[in-house]
Structure 1
Amino acid sequence: MSTRLNWLRAAVLGANDGIVSTAGLVVGVAGATGDRGTLLTAGLAGLLAGSMSMAAGEYVSVSTQRASEKAALALERRELREQPDAELDELAGLLEARGLSASVAREAAQQLTEKDALRAHARVELGINPDELMNPWHAAWASFLAFTAGALLPLLAMVLPGAGWRVPVTVVSVLVALVITGWVSARLGQSPVRGAVVRNVVGGALAMAVTYGVGALLGAVGV
Structure 2
Amino acid sequence: MLRIMFPNGMTVTVTAGRNGKSVSVIPDDREITERLSSIFQWSTNRVGEPGYPFTSLNQVIYGMETLARSAMSIEQFIEGLREVLEVSDKHPVPEVGVRTPSPTVVDLSPSGNGWIVAARFLRGERFKLAINKASIGWAADPPEPTRDKAIMKFLSRLKGAPAPTDEDLALLVMEVAHYSSDIAEWLKGMHSAIAEEPRS
- Normalising by the smaller structure, the TM-score range is under 0.3
In the superposition, the TM-score normalised over structure 2's length comes to 0.25
- Bigger proportion of residues as helix: 1
Q: Which one scores higher on RCO, CA 8 angstroms, separation ≥ 6? A: 1
In the superposition, the TM-score normalised over structure 1's length comes to 0.23
